[in-house]
Amino acid sequence: MNIEDLKQHIRDVPDFPKPGIIFKDITPLLANADAFNFCIDQLVERVVRHDPDAIVGIESRGFIFGAVVATRLGLPFQLARKANKLPYRTVKVSYELEYGSDSVEMHVDAVEAGKRYAIVDDLIATGGTAAATAELIELQKGKVACFACVIELAFLAGRERLGERVIETLIDY
């Protein structure tokens, strides 16, 4: 298995969730044990370079990859969720979408001042979600060790939204 093989397990679904969007479907990757395992190996190898104290997974596919990376590294796992999903007191950051806005929340006690957090998601598109999660961690005085994801839609220049923060991706389109 290599990165090229991994690509074969990502399915393009045109016009989902709306016309003009090519949705990168990672369910075939998850359904193939070798591909999923290789993908986690690769994420772990990149994340560990940035010496995190904990992993933050972004809802919802970031939970799948992030949780496994966290257990592999023996690190705590924290959730960054969409609005109004977390039960306890939260901190929220909103960000602009093409039409309207969205937000991410974390529990108030999810981030410790001075600790390093590796953020994990499946994909970076415009970078809005990743940047908002990074801000959320920094608002709580945590440090962003890196943002790591499986797929980067480079043509959307999401990296620019993350500024100087470290980005690790496996597959670029």
Instruction: List contacts with ligand AMP (CB under 6 A).
Output: 21-24, 58, 61, 121-130, 158
Q: Alpha-carbon torsion 148, 151, 154, 156, what sign?
A: negative
Q: How far is the CB of 95 from ligand AMP (least distance, A)?
A: 8
Catalytic residue selected from 4, 11, 49, 98: 98
From the candidates 4, 45, 49, 61, give the one annotated as an active-site residue.
61
Q: Is 141 exposed, middle or buried (0-12, 13-18, 19+ CB in 10 A)?
A: exposed
Q: Is 159 a catalytic residue?
A: no
Q: Please state, as a whole number, how many other Cβ atoms lie within 10 Å of the Cβ of residue 142.
A: 23
Q: Residue 125 Cβ, how far from ligand AMP at the closest point, in Å?
A: 3
Question: Using CA atoms, how far apart are residues 114 and 119, in angstroms rounded to an integer?
Answer: 15
What does residue 19 show for φ and ψ, rounded to 5 degrees? Answer: -55, 140
Q: What's the min distance (Å) between Cβ of 86 and ligand AMP?
A: 17
Closest to ligand AMP by CB, 51 vs 84, is 84
3/21 with CB nearer ligand AMP: 21
* Identity of the residue, 61 or 81, whose beta carbon is nearer to ligand AMP in the bound complex: 61
Going by the DSSP 8-state scheme, the letter that residue 107 receives in this structure is E
Q: Is 164 a catalytic residue?
A: no
Phi and psi at residue 152, to the nearest 5° = -120, 125
As annotated, the active-site residues are 61, 98
